[in-house]
Amino acid sequence: MFGSGFMGKVHTEAIRRLGNVEVAAVASHTQELADEFARSMNIPKATGDYREILADPTIDAVHIGTPNNLHYPMAEAALKAGKHVLCEKPLTMTSAEGKKLIKLAASTKLVTAVNHNLRYYPLVQQVRQMIAAGDLGDILIVNGTYYQDWLLYDTDFNWRVQTSDNGTLRAMGDIGSHWMDMIQHVTGLKISALCADLATFHKTRKKPQGAVETFTGKKAKANAKYTEIPIDTDDFGSVLLKLGDRARGCFAVSQMSAGCKNRFNFEVYGTKSGVAWNQERPDELWIGHRNSPNQIIIKDGSLMMPQAAPFADLPGGHSEGYDDAHKQLFKRFYAKIADPSVPVNFPTFEDGTWGMHLLEKVLESSKKQRWVNA
């Protein structure tokens, strides 16, 4: 495990639930951070230098859960060291880096994946299968938001607000990348053109001395000392979309919407029916009809479509959420490692690189304040 923050913990716990994979070592920013994490999670080996883990021939795969600027060098070094790689999103800082990783991975037999885990909520898979089966008809309209509030104040700080660690796009890169991946995954349509508008409401933020791990800002503020630094990453962004050659839509992302903790929702409307799903109520799916009563269905594998049911491991009425979505993705990643003949059933470096390309188009469009083709 590379990284010992929010994702370090989520990945470690999800990997252990698979039953056939051991978390053998953790690398963090410093030896102290790695030791502390290894102690708390009962991991046998800890290091402040990830290269030590890559030099260990007993390690088969690495999970990259570090700030975005480290994804490319870590993934490249891991592939060169012969390790399978599961990398957090956004895959890289640029699509050019993503292309280099695809080329490198293609010269090996290694398995690579990008962690668009949100695809693997059971009812999201139900939506995907409903659309594939034609239940919604031809897709006409998509819309949605991904809103959070943890960076609302100018005293809220995280490595993500700095271009050097995060890349140029923050709210868009962090959560817009998930939204765009999701809408393409469920509809099977690719984004073909977009028109974006980005906003940075806090032109400066107060940076505390010392590291701040994700979502810990609210707790950390009391005695902190700050340095005021300029900010040019986006707090908010909205995008008009064309998908394929017919569908239209729009979405917005924000890390400054009070009260929204992780409000990721999407709606899809076709020529027959519509669906709406909200990550804050993941076991419910709204299905809208024109000529019969609307429905709200509850996650229940025994009643879901056969291709979606394997993503629900617990019986109906037993909630499956964020942690479970990671587990479902990791399960399929490690199944591919164990048996190369099984089909790829997880987001690939190609998906991650396409995501980076779309983010670059979002930035280009916002700068030009006009539509661009993807």
Ligand X SMILES: NC(=O)c1ccc[n+]([C@@H]2O[C@H](COP(=O)([O-])OP(=O)(O)OC[C@H]3O[C@@H](n4cnc5c(N)ncnc54)[C@H](O)[C@@H]3O)[C@@H](O)[C@H]2O)c1
Tokens of 198: 């980005």
Tokens of 70: 């480290």
Which lies closer to ligand X via its Cβ, residue 8 or residue 352? 8
The footprint of ligand X on residues 156-175 (CB under 6 A) is 159, 174
User: CB of residue 210 vs ligand X: minimum separation in angstroms?
Assistant: 11
Contacts of 132 (CB under 8 A, 6+ apart): 188, 307
Question: Closest Cα partner for 275 from 136, 154, 97, 172?
Answer: 136
Please answer whether residues 165 and 218 qualify as being in contact, where contact means their C-beta atoms are separated by less than 8 angstroms: no
Please tell me whether residue 322 adopts helix, strand or coil conformation: helix
Which lies closer to ligand X via its Cβ, residue 21 or residue 118? 118
The correct pick among 12, 68, 184, 279 for binding ligand X (CB under 6 A) is 68
Output the CA–CA distances (angstroms, integers) from residue 187 to 45, 239, 269, in the order listed.
43, 18, 10
Is 27 one of the binding residues for ligand X (CB under 6 A)?
yes
Which lies closer to ligand X via its Cβ, residue 10 or residue 374? 10
- 193 CB-contact burial (10 Å; exposed 0-12 / middle 13-18 / buried 19+): middle
Is 7 one of the binding residues for ligand X (CB under 6 A)?
yes
For residues 325 and 120, what is the distance between their CA atoms, to the nearest angstrom?
Answer: 5
The correct pick among 143, 163, 168, 214 for binding ligand X (CB under 6 A) is 214
Which lies closer to ligand X via its Cβ, residue 27 or residue 110? 27
Which lies closer to ligand X via its Cβ, residue 171 or residue 247? 171
Contact stretch for ligand X (CB under 6 A) within 6-14, 78-86, 180-188, 304-312: 6-14
Please tell me whether residue 371 adopts helix, strand or coil conformation: coil
The correct pick among 67, 122, 217, 274 for binding ligand X (CB under 6 A) is 67
Is 65 one of the binding residues for ligand X (CB under 6 A)?
yes
Tokens 């410093």 — which residue? 30
Contacts of 42 (CB under 8 A, 6+ apart): none
State CA 44 to chain mean position distance: 28
Is 147 one of the binding residues for ligand X (CB under 6 A)?
no
Is 94 one of the binding residues for ligand X (CB under 6 A)?
no
Which residue's Cβ has the minimum distance to ligand X? 5
Question: Running DSSP on this structure, what letter comes out for residue 175?
Answer: I
User: CB of residue 73 vs ligand X: minimum separation in angstroms?
Assistant: 9
For residues 113 and 118, what is the distance between their CA atoms, to the nearest angstrom?
Answer: 14
Contact stretch for ligand X (CB under 6 A) within 38-46, 60-68, 276-284, 345-353: 60-68
Is 33 one of the binding residues for ligand X (CB under 6 A)?
yes
Is 130 one of the binding residues for ligand X (CB under 6 A)?
no
Contact stretch for ligand X (CB under 6 A) within 65-73, 144-152, 181-189, 341-349: 65-73
Is 4 one of the binding residues for ligand X (CB under 6 A)?
yes
Contact stretch for ligand X (CB under 6 A) within 67-75, 149-157, 233-241, 342-350: 67-75
DSSP states of 9-73 as a string?
HHHHHHHHHHSS----EEE-SSHHHHHHHHHHHT-SEEES-HHHHHT-TT--EEEE-S-GGGHHH
User: CB of residue 231 vs ligand X: minimum separation in angstroms?
Assistant: 17
Count the residues of the shown chain that bind ligand X, applying the rule CB under 6 A. 25
User: Which residues of this protein are in contact with ligand X, per CB under 6 A?
Assistant: 2-8, 27-29, 33, 50, 65-68, 70, 88-89, 115, 117, 159, 174, 213-214
